[in-house]
Amino acid sequence: MTRPAVALPPVALALDAALLTTAVAWAEAAGPYISTVKVGLESYLRDGDAAVLGARAASGGRAVFLDLKLHDIPNTVAGAARSVAHLRPAYLTVHASGGTAMVRAAVTELPETCVTAVTVLTSLSEQDLLEIGLAGPAREASLRLAALAVGAGARGIVCSPHEVAAIRSEVGPDIVLITPGVRPAGSEVGDQVRVATPAQALADGADLLVIGRPITAAPDVRVAAQAIAESLLH
């Protein structure tokens, strides 16, 4: 597994659409300006394999980030990973909080995929962490979970832009760091709490930026994707 192609902007377009046809249209419009298409839980549960195959084909064969955030007992996660192996995702997410054995189960089943561990969701605030009983603050919780996941064989980590620099220092240069919660300056934050601009996230050590609504909610998806791409490549 290699890092996103340097010739393309390191952007994973989040295809969170109510209809498969809409997601495919977004992938086609943004395809020339992104490296990766991200198919999430909602889309995959609704449309199954068609969500992945449609996004890959429409985008011009871009890498597929299958963002299922698996979190269950190790045997169940192993079976779930086997069930999507035929789709050849470049990335598959699991929750680092599922523990060492669970992360390792996914890695074992998908040796050609960058199994990517989610640390602390970007929608969670410090108060949220306190309420669910996860020892924080978010930076320390993310560092602990990232170290655990990498020790279990994960080759990618999902973390917020606020923790990416610290996690880069913790895990070294060979782990792919993926950051959601990326918003161009002036964009609506939505339900994200710990956010940064694309340029800042890359400067802090991110390899791949997950961007959805700033592109997909724009009046012209192609123009929005192109603008972000140009801001990152110049």
Nearest to 205 by CA among 19, 67, 35, 10: 10
* Catalytic status, residue 69: yes
Pairing label, strands 156-158, 176-179 = parallel
Element (H, E) at 127: helix 126-132
Nearest to 12 by CA among 153, 203, 210: 210
Q: Which one of the listed residues 3, 69, 213, 222 is annotated catalytic?
A: 69
Q: How many Å apart are CA 93 and CA 119, to the nearest integer?
A: 10
Nearest to 89 by CA among 109, 71, 74: 109
Two tokens at 219?
A: 């009046």
Nearest to 12 by CA among 76, 133, 26: 26
Q: How many Å apart are CA 175 and CA 155, to the nearest integer?
A: 5
State the CB neighbour count (10 A cutoff) for residue 21. Answer: 11
Q: How many Å apart are CA 31 and CA 8, to the nearest integer?
A: 10
Q: Tokens 């990416």 — which residue? A: 164
3-state secondary structure of 162: coil
Q: Which residues are catalytic?
A: 69
